[in-house]
Amino acid sequence: MIGHRPSNCALSALGGVGHEEDSHADWSLVCAGVLRVRCLRDTCGILPGTAATHQSAAGLDGDAIAIGSRPRRVAAVNSESLSDYFREAASWDADRLQHLRGAARRAWRVAAAGWLCALATTIALALLMPLKRVDPFLVRVDNSTGIVDVVPVYTGRAGLEQSVARYFLSHYISVCERFNFATAESDYEECGAFHAAQRNQAWYALWNPANPASPLNVHKDGSTVRVQVEAVSFFQRVSGVTDLAQVRYLKSERQGTGADEHLSHWIATVQYAYSAPSKDPRVRRWNPLGFKVLELTTEPEVVPESTVVKPAASASGH
């Protein structure tokens, strides 16, 4: 006997069998109805896990059992019940679609957040790269005073005028403060090419043989003086004019061939200016830009005693 109520799909398939069959009904018609119920179940797509599914499965199983026994009375299904079923199926599909769309939106948001984090990390690393640069610097210790300072690094941004003035000042001090009897006359004329009129008179008075302090008299014993420029510094006046410079240089004096060198540190304060170049070709060869030294003051740095440097030949003998 049948112990289950047939499902809505099954009842719709068997809608033509609305009345109670007698015990002598044609079993071939019942079997054909069961096959129609199964085909309709596949077509309707009864949702798994719902009450309608279990009810339909129970009904179909009952119909299968009814093939070998007496069929029961099957009730008709109205159109309103079928519409409710399809409405529930459509709502289930809509819920699944909404769930998939929500999952896709969350996945895109997570992916976008990951790309943003990667981009922010790249930008942060790019900004931190300059901090890993190593800038070396040179510390200088003065041999006479012991003062420690950092040697400035040339960055290639110095003005042309300052670079040219630095060259002329270094060249002027190197030529005019040295002495070698073989080049004394040439050095005297070359230094005169850089002097203004007033400075040129003082220069002539210094080299006059009648002056006891003249280099010609001081070094007539054959001694020589060698000069090495160490640093050139520029000073700006309150008015904004830059026409003062301070040159630190090392003076090495040797009394004769094979004698020891006496080293001393000096500072020269120079006031300079530019004027029209000389019309004399010989003067223009030394000073083509009209660089003029207006005032010059030299003074030794305060040192306990002069440093003595033994010549190489004497050192090698020991």
pLDDT digits (tens, 9 = 90+) for 223-278: 899 999 988 988 888 887 888 999 999 999 988 777 788 888 899 999 999 988 88
Mean pLDDT, residues 74-83 taken together:
69
Pair of tokens at residue 205: 């008075």
CA distance 258 to 316: 12
Whether pLDDT at 169 is above 50: yes
DSSP tag of 76: -
The mean of the pLDDT values for the chain is: 75
Pair of tokens at residue 196: 């203004």
Mean pLDDT, residues 135-146 taken together:
77
CA distance 257 to 104: 95
Whether pLDDT at 71 is above 70: no
Closest Cα to residue 189, out of 200, 178, 198?
200
Whether pLDDT at 67 is above 70: no
pTM for this predicted structure = 0.51
Q: What is the pLDDT of residue 57?
A: 42
Domains and CATH numbers, the chain: 8-77 (no CATH), 148-317 (3.10.450.230)
Q: What is the pLDDT of residue 37?
A: 46
Instruction: Report the share of the chain in percent with pLDDT over 90.
Output: 29
Place 10 in a pLDDT band, splitting at 50, 70 and 90. Answer: very low
Whether pLDDT at 55 is above 80: no
CA 64 to chain centre: 80
Whether pLDDT at 43 is above 60: no
CA distance 168 to 226: 18
Q: What is the pLDDT of residue 101?
A: 92
Listed range (35-44, 87-96, 186-195, 274-283) with the worst mean pLDDT: 35-44
Give the SS3 label for residue 120: helix
Pairwise pLDDT comparison (19 vs 161), residue with the higher score:
161
Place 15 in a pLDDT band, splitting at 50, 70 and 90. Answer: very low
Listed range (89-98, 156-165, 255-264, 306-315) with the worst mean pLDDT: 306-315
Q: What is the pLDDT of residue 76?
A: 55
Whether pLDDT at 281 is above 60: yes
CA distance 267 to 101: 85
b/e per residue 73-93 (b: at least 16 CB within 10 A): ebeebeeeeeeebeeebeeee
Q: What is the pLDDT of residue 304?
A: 47
Mean pLDDT, residues 137-152 taken together:
76
